[in-house]
Amino acid sequence: MTYTIKFHTKWSDFDANKHMRHTAYNDYAAEARLRFLKENGFGVAVMEENNVGPILFSENTQFRREIRLGEDISVKLYLEATSKQGERFKIRHLIYKENGDLAATISVYLAWIDLTKRKLTIPPKQILETLKHIAKTDDFEEISIQTKEPIK
């Protein structure tokens, strides 16, 4: 399923040139991710119960069209990659202007962290089921986790 959410932009999203601030795009992408997780049974309360939270390794934004003051937007999520056990994953966000033009593409690389140990962890199986609800990109790939040999 393709997950799409619409947002009404707000005054503080825009700069003096009357176009959306570059960081606002990323804020909407993050909000879309968290809303998707919550709507599919893995919201903040469930993360707390399981003592896990998402962490961001990288975020790559490509701007294509200007979003101007007063325009609303929609964000579509796609699963770009995941490891076998779901401990690492990539999500691609497509941000559209209200006229349907693609305004930006944001790809993020994430992992799950144990909130007590502050170390990467394998998430509960429930998160794997949740991630299955996002449509995969055409170039979807499996993330290979390399374990490091101890230095002798």
Q: Does a structural domain hold residue 125?
A: yes
pTM exceeds 0.75 for this model: yes
Q: Does a structural domain hold residue 111?
A: yes
* Dist CA 74 CA 102 (whole Å): 10
Burial 102-128 (b: 16+ CB within 10 A, else e): ebbbbbbbbbbbeeeeeeebbbbeebb
> Could you tell me the two tokens for 42?
């893995």
Q: Quote the domain boundaries for residue 115.
A: 3-140
Q: What is the pLDDT along the chain (152 residues), one digit of tens a residue?
A: 789 999 999 999 999 999 999 999 999 999 999 999 999 988 899 999 999 999 999 999 999 999 999 999 999 999 999 998 889 999 999 999 999 999 999 999 999 999 999 999 999 888 888 888 899 999 999 999 875 544 44
Mapped onto helix, strand or coil, the DSSP state of residue 126 is helix
Q: Does a structural domain hold residue 146?
A: no
Domain count, the chain: 1
Q: Does a structural domain hold residue 150?
A: no
Query: Domain with 61 in it: what CATH number?
Result: 3.10.129.10
> Could you tell me the two tokens for 14?
């825009």
Q: Does a structural domain hold residue 151?
A: no
